[in-house]
Amino acid sequence: MINTLKLGVSGINLGKSSKNESIDFKAVRREFEMLKNVGGEVDELIFTDCVLGEELPMNLIQRGLKLYPSIEEMKKIREIAEEMKVKVGGHASFLVNFASSSEKVKRASRGHLTALCRRMEAAGGIYAVTHLGFLGEKSEDELKDEIAMEIERIISKIEIQLLIENSGKRKGVGSLPFIIDLAEKTGVKICLDWAHLHAYGRGTIRNSEDVRRIINEIEKRLGEFEDWVPVMHISGIKYGFGGELEHLGLNESDLPWYDIIKVLNEIGVNSIIICESPKRWNGDLKLLKKAILGEKVEIKKLGQRSILDWIEKY
């Protein structure tokens, strides 16, 4: 067996409550250390609650939103990462929405991605990942060209590798076929979230065969899997009629995460796999590392489909 997968973690949230608040660099260092201790190499820094602007008005604070860290602070993170030999990626704000019919929202979305990319460049980061937004009046098919144009516009202005993540929610933009089309059209690469894929399809990944089928689908259209999917996300997941409800621990859902790792190992995929489990620091990173190394791990399978959610729909 060739163990080429690189383990990473959904990391520290770098959003700040005020401009004057400093990033907790000690906490960053501690996290990098913990990651190294479980054999991890990549920390995906979180900017999911970040809004653009210089200060936070009360209504945004109440919504739990944060400000972006400064470029200077990101340079300091670069120093710590280099010293600790950890690579960093960055996850974009959930406010990014290229599916919006509002020009204002689309402009802000461009602003968010540029803000993130500039910060990740300052941090010596290896990638920035984003979702595309939520469906409004238009279908994915109708949004195809518009979104491709937005993505092309952004990648022409940034240095860092931008990745597009598939949606877990069915009202989100980012079914697997949509993401593959976008990659084919623009050359943008993919962050494949296995749990999202499973939830979007309301439980589509049942075994190794399904995993191989998905990998083949990507390779048939784009080429070598690891070239087009340099980063993946994984966790357990709870889903319902509308797809994703929430992330769960690896052994708390019916996603066959171990089969996914097994197949990736068999193929010898040389990508990064980021653990997004809420239990990542309570055993799941270790579990994932064991699986990557081909060691035997205890697998529990639970059905987590929310039946009540289905009933409500009909």
Name the residues that contact Zn ion, by CB under 5 A: 193, 233
Is-contact 85 40, C-beta < 8 A? no
Nearer to Zn ion, 69 or 172 (CB): 172
Helices 71-84 & 25-37, crossing angle to 10 degrees?
A: 30
Nearer to Zn ion, 80 or 164 (CB): 164
| Least gap, CB of 235 to Zn ion (angstroms) | 8
Nearer to Zn ion, 46 or 287 (CB): 46
CA distances from 254 to 66, 167, 279 (A): 34, 18, 16
| Least gap, CB of 273 to Zn ion (angstroms) | 11
Nearer to Zn ion, 80 or 233 (CB): 233
Nearer to Zn ion, 278 or 294 (CB): 278
Residue for token pair 């899997």: 225
Is-contact 140 166, C-beta < 8 A? no
Number of neighbours of residue 204 by Cβ within 10 angstroms: 14
Q: How far apart, in whole angstroms, are the C-alpha atoms of residue 173 and residue 68?
A: 24
Q: How far apart, in whole angstroms, are the C-alpha atoms of residue 75 and residue 120?
A: 9
| Least gap, CB of 193 to Zn ion (angstroms) | 4
Residues 6+ apart with CB under 8 A from 92: 47, 48, 112, 113, 116, 128, 129, 130, 131
| Least gap, CB of 195 to Zn ion (angstroms) | 7
Q: Which residue is nearest to Zn ion (CB)?
A: 233
The rounded radius of gyration (Å) of the Cα atoms in the chain is 19
Nearer to Zn ion, 203 or 294 (CB): 203
Nearer to Zn ion, 80 or 192 (CB): 192
| Least gap, CB of 44 to Zn ion (angstroms) | 9
The two three-digit tokens of residue 127, written as one number: 């990638």
In the chain, the largest separation of any two C-alpha atoms, in whole Å, equals 56
- Strand (E) positions, 73-217? 87-91, 127-130, 161-165, 189-193
| Least gap, CB of 233 to Zn ion (angstroms) | 3
| Least gap, CB of 165 to Zn ion (angstroms) | 5
Residues 6+ apart with CB under 8 A from 51: 60, 65, 66, 67, 93, 95
